[in-house]
Structure 1
Amino acid sequence: MKLYQLHAKQQLPISKSDAWDFLSNPKNLKVITPEKMGFQIVSGAERPMFPGQIIQYKVSPFPGFKTKWVSEITHVEQGNYFVDAQLFGPYALWHHKHFISEIEGGVEMEDIIDYKIPFGILGQIAHPILVKGQLTSIFKFREQKLTELFGSIEGSQTEIHFKSF
């Protein structure tokens, strides 16, 4: 079974504390998720983020396919990074690291997601046809939404790269 990695970076003209306040609030995930995905938090987002926090969602990653997604916040370094891991959901593995770094004129947000697709060879076939495009679409939406909310750093460009192992 192949392991895939998505690596995305976006720069925003806001303070590190403002970026952290927005990105570490589980309720804001709905704001930066495309509406067509029917994203809904079921439980676990009532408190500020902490290690061990369990968050349950309902989501429709593809038209006609609805699923529950349960994540655990496994690591939090206040103001700098947090990590969530899927305990139950559409992926065979989903491990998502979120980093926030100060740069000149604002912050750089960096996401590194290691993931596996279920269904063996069928999943590997579906990755370039469905999954990679869907993930790209989600991160492009996030880029647009965050730019709409916070502006952009002139000359900066969001990067999205995929690798497989």
Structure 2
Amino acid sequence: MAHHSIKAVQRIPISVDEAWRFFSVPENLVRITPADFSFQIISHHHGGQIYQGQIIEYNVRPLWNIPWYWMTEITHVQPQQYFVDEQRYGPFGIWHHQHHFAPVDGGVEMTDIVHYSVPGWWFGSLVNKLVVGKKLEALFRYRFGEIEKMFGKWEGQSCNVKMY
């Protein structure tokens, strides 16, 4: 099973505290996910912000309107710096998503790094090349635009999403 990575970097003209308050609340993920994913959080939360060990359950329809149940666990949290979610059950062979926040002059630089695999040996690699990788890249590009609409545009910045 081949492993793949995606990295998205965005500068946002807000403080690290403001970025953390928004991105560490699971319900806000719905606000930056395309409607065609039919993304719904179905688990019950125990407070506002994420915490280590938190299980988050979703229903999502990312491809061809096929429903998927997805469960992730927040495995690492360093407030105002980073958090990590990992798939415990769902469509990927592996899903490890790092969310980093670093102060920069005039705002915060947010970096998402996702390591993932699509099950199915060579067929999974083909599905990733033809469909999944493109869908994930489009997801992060969509989020880039939504984040700019919500928090403002960083002057001279273009969408920086790279697949590996």
TM-score (norm 1): 0.96
**Runs (5+) with no aligned partner, structure 1:** none
TM-fit CA distance, 1:162: 1.2
Q: In the alignment, what sits opposite 1:123?
A: 124
Tell me which stretches of 4 or more aligned residues in structure 1 moved more than 3 Å.
none
The answer as to whether partners of 1:16 and 1:79 remain within 8 angstroms in 2 is yes
Q: Work out the percentage of aligned pairs sharing the same amino acid.
A: 38
Q: In the alignment, what sits opposite 1:59?
A: 60
Q: In the alignment, what sits opposite 1:8?
A: 8
Pairs aligned (count): 163
CA distance in 2, matches of 1:115, 1:56: 18
CA distance in 1, matches of 2:4, 2:19: 27
TM-fit CA distance, 1:46: 4.3
Q: In the alignment, what sits opposite 1:110?
A: 111
Secondary structure, in 3 states, of the residue corresponding to 2:31? coil
TM-fit CA distance, 1:106: 0.6
CA distance in 2, matches of 1:61, 1:36: 7
The answer as to whether partners of 2:137 and 2:163 remain within 8 angstroms in 1 is no
Secondary structure, in 3 states, of the residue corresponding to 2:11? strand
The answer as to whether partners of 1:51 and 1:73 remain within 8 angstroms in 2 is yes
CA distance in 2, matches of 1:45, 1:65: 26
Q: In the alignment, what sits opposite 2:76?
A: 75
The answer as to whether partners of 1:6 and 1:114 remain within 8 angstroms in 2 is yes
The answer as to whether partners of 1:91 and 1:115 remain within 8 angstroms in 2 is yes
Give the structure with the higher percent strand: 1
What do residues 35-79 of structure 1 show as CA deviations (whole Å, max 9, x unaligned)?
110000001434221000000000011023111000000000011
Secondary structure, in 3 states, of the residue corresponding to 2:75? strand
CA distance in 2, matches of 1:58, 1:151: 30
CA distance in 1, matches of 2:159, 2:104: 14
The answer as to whether partners of 1:11 and 1:158 remain within 8 angstroms in 2 is no
TM-fit CA distance, 1:153: 1.1
Q: In the alignment, what sits opposite 1:158?
A: 159
Secondary structure, in 3 states, of the residue corresponding to 2:67? strand
The answer as to whether partners of 1:44 and 1:54 remain within 8 angstroms in 2 is no
